[in-house]
Amino acid sequence: QSLRTVNWVLEETNYTRLCSSKKILTVNGLFPGPTLHVHKGDRLIVNIQNQGAYNVTIHWHGVKQPRNPWSDGPEYITQCPIKPGANFSYEIIFSTEEGTLWWHAHSDWSRATVHGPIIVYPANGTTYPYSKPSEEFPIVLASWFKGDVMELIQSALESGAEPNQSDAFTINGQPGDLYNCSKPGTFKIMVDYGKTYLLRIINAIMNEEMFFKVAEHNLTVVGMDGAYIKPIYTDYIMITPGQTMDVLITANQSPSEYYMAARAYAGLQYDNTTTTAIVQYSGNYTAPSTPAFPILPNYTDIDAVTNFTRQMKALNSKEHPVDVPQTVDTKLYITLSVNTLPCVNSSCDGPNGDRLAASLNNMSFVTPEVDVLQAYYSQLKGFYTTDFPSQPPYFFNFTADDVSDDYLTPNNVTKVKVLEFNSTVEIVFQTTNVMKAAENHPMHLHGYSFYFVGFGFGNFNNETDPTGYNLVDPPEVNTVGVPTNGWAAIRFRADNPGVWFMHCHLERHSSWGMDTVLIVKNGTTTEASMQDPPPYLNPC
């Protein structure tokens, strides 16, 4: 175990993509941002100096941060923003994670450009549960907007309408060969025939789930969200925003150049562009004028998603055992909806002059003016209430084609859920077709990995559906894609005391209020309680 210190400067940096230049917020001038390399069990201090023009915070996505919500990052949930000109130090505590994770800004939409990989190697003296790859490549999928991202979301929230879609997706910062303007920069990996490589794939995209594929090569998925899984042999993956996957690829085709490509899986409004990068074999051969192109699943191919998801199982080996709660103390049943709220100004550009909103159990989350963690720790009244409902306030046919308008208007509130220390928790997420906005929602929980024990279509049936749960070797993840017109069930033990954000990782849904907070109480000993706050906290 080692303790290292890293210094990061947040700054506006000029970047040109798709033939147009703009200033973007970066860490140390880099897009994507720097990669953090650690070993399992390490501790890291990251000193942030904000020289940019906006309030920022940074989140370490998938790092459980045992007892240390103070450094988790979401703005107005565990800290107040690092204002322009201000500093903050994060203490990142790695515990059981092993594999690929990532970090990203967690205030407004700054994560569009402020993000990067976290690579957690096995603890010293241990190795991967698969043969060591010849080389490793982080593959960061992201969204590129021609306009200013912060203005874009600001104006969308004011007008109440859908925010603009991105103009391209990128692989390691590059849109790829389908854009003449950006062709010279296309990302490339060099491979030797016969060798095996590890792709550490991160979906940092703002609003779309993605299919990813490499032409004429098979993929073996060996890890997800910083935990090992039983190998999935496939020729494509589906990866939601927030998820990470460790994927092996063997260079066993005729030496040449091949495209890797990614495009959206989405039912509604989405960016329908394709981003590419190149796999280039070493050696002497005549390069094709255009590399072979992969045929990706269709944008709406729900079967491709389901078939892939069904194969996810924890490795569950002697070195990497699972510990799935077999009984449940607290059950939550949570609907995910897109709704509308009355306009704050006179008229909005959303449906019927209202503004678009989103909710969990019909509660559209409002971030408080003092962060929830500070309010909880210092027992400040009036910033949140603890009555987040354990089930939907109305039951109806959630996934019907025609969902009544009655459920369009959610409550605009700051409601959190309090959990007993060490209790076992089950959450069933239920998507709804309110606003005819049926869609896959990648639900993410901070401070935890959870077991993804089951999913299905239609309305969750409390009698019959749990009998199909996988309580033997479910994958341990931090983000779950709740299927379009369906449900997903997760279980975990509430053994990490603190204040933990839970939200949809589609950025527009989170901005509209598809969020809540789980407060996990302290246990009876110091070791079972939150750490003391760091000496410096940013004032709100």
Interacting partner of 501 out of Cu ion, ligand C2O, none (Cβ under 5 to 8 A depending on kind)? ligand C2O
Number of other residues whose CB lies within 10 A of the CB of residue 479 = 24
Residues binding ligand C2O: number (CB under 6 A): 11
Interacting partner of 106 out of Cu ion, ligand C2O, none (Cβ under 5 to 8 A depending on kind)? ligand C2O
Interacting partner of 506 out of ligand C2O, Cu ion, none (Cβ under 5 to 8 A depending on kind)? Cu ion
Q: How far apart are CA 242 and CA 505, in angstroms?
A: 6
Question: In sequence order, what are the beta bridge partners of 445?
Answer: 502
Interacting partner of 217 out of ligand C2O, Cu ion, none (Cβ under 5 to 8 A depending on kind)? none
Number of H helices, E strands in the chain: 4, 32
Note whether 242 binds ligand C2O by CB under 6 A: yes
Burial class (CB in 10 A: 0-12, 13-18, 19+), 311: middle
Q: Which stretch binds ligand C2O (CB under 6 A): 33-41, 205-213, 298-306, 501-509?
A: 501-509
Question: According to DSSP H, which parts of 125-246 are helical?
Answer: 149-159
Interacting partner of 491 out of ligand C2O, Cu ion, none (Cβ under 5 to 8 A depending on kind)? none
Q: How far apart are CA 514 and CA 268, in angstroms?
A: 17
Q: Which stretch binds ligand C2O (CB under 6 A): 384-392, 466-474, 498-506, 520-528?
A: 498-506
Query: Structure tokens of 257?
Result: 């150049």
Query: In degrees, to the nearest 5, what angle opens at C-alpha 275 toward C-alphas 200 and 265?
Result: 80
Task: Answer whether the bond into residue 294 is a cis peptide, omega within 30°.
Answer: no
Selected from 263, 355, 444, 491, the binder of ligand C2O by CB under 6 A is 444
Going by C-beta distance under 8 Å and a sequence separation of 6 or more, which residues neighbour residue 462? 333
Q: What x-and-dash track marks residues 434-453 binding Cu ion by CB under 5 A?
A: -------x------------
Minimum Å distance from CB 368 to ligand C2O? 16
Q: Which amino acid is at 147?
A: G
Q: Which stretch binds ligand C2O (CB under 6 A): 176-184, 247-255, 356-364, 500-508?
A: 500-508
Number of other residues whose CB lies within 10 A of the CB of residue 131 = 9
Selected from 168, 445, 504, 518, the binder of Cu ion by CB under 5 A is 504
Minimum Å distance from CB 106 to ligand C2O? 6
Q: How far apart are CA 127 and CA 89, in angstroms?
A: 31
Minimum Å distance from CB 104 to ligand C2O? 6
Nearer to ligand C2O (CB atom), residue 73 or residue 486: 73
Between the alpha carbon of residue 33 and those of residues 44, 85, 89, 114, 149, the distances in Å are 17, 20, 17, 6, 17
Minimum Å distance from CB 65 to ligand C2O? 12
Nearer to ligand C2O (CB atom), residue 242 or residue 483: 242
Nearer to Cu ion (CB atom), residue 200 or residue 441: 441
Give how far the C-alpha of residue 338 lies from the chain's centroid of Cα atoms, to the nearest Å. Answer: 19
Task: Please state the φ and ψ torsions of residue 10, each to the nearest 5 degrees.
Answer: -85, 125
- Using Cβ positions, the residue closest to ligand C2O within the complex turns out to be 61
Q: How far apart are CA 539 and CA 174, in angstroms?
A: 37
Nearer to ligand C2O (CB atom), residue 485 or residue 510: 510
Nearer to Cu ion (CB atom), residue 229 or residue 514: 514
Burial class (CB in 10 A: 0-12, 13-18, 19+), 345: exposed
Note whether 502 binds Cu ion by CB under 5 A: no
Selected from 40, 64, 106, 491, the binder of ligand C2O by CB under 6 A is 106
Note whether 506 binds Cu ion by CB under 5 A: yes
Minimum Å distance from CB 337 to ligand C2O? 19
Question: Applying CB under 6 A, which residues contact ligand C2O?
Answer: 59, 61, 74, 104, 106, 242, 444, 446, 501, 503, 505
